[in-house]
Amino acid sequence: MTTTTAEDQIRDTVAKNDVVLFMKGTKAMPQCGFSSRVAGVLNFMGVEYADVNVLADAEIRQGIKDFSDWPTIPQLYVKGEFVGGCDIVTEMTLSGELDQLFEAKGVTYDKAAADKIREANA
């Protein structure tokens, strides 16, 4: 019988999904403000993504920090690449870098919604 480690589960999830958000809670019910902000951006922009509730599994919660060498949650992955946490995703959204990343990686999103976020925060 093989034991799957948290790292194996994380690697598998990141590999199988174009966009993954490791967060506290779920995209429907975030459990912290930072997770809520990133999920809100992705939801508003119409991005399809997998959400992983780190509160449901202590090994995943610690494992994702080790996996990315990043101390905080939420953590966003696009096409297997670690993008960042709440502050980075917020900055990238406002600068248009997140749009560019989605375009470069072939991830579908609502450009008009992204523009609305920038207008509201200008």
Annotated binding site, which residues?
Answer: 32
- Which residues are part of a known binding site for [2Fe-2S] cluster? 32
User: Residue 16 is which amino acid?
Assistant: K
Radius of gyration of the chain (CA): 14
Quote the DSSP letter at residue 52.
Answer: E
Q: ∠ CA 68-73-77 to the nearest 5 degrees?
A: 50
> Alpha helix (H) ranges present in 1-122?
6-16, 33-44, 58-68, 86-95, 97-105, 111-120
Going by C-alpha positions, the residue among 58, 56, 55, 68 that lies closest to residue 6 is 58
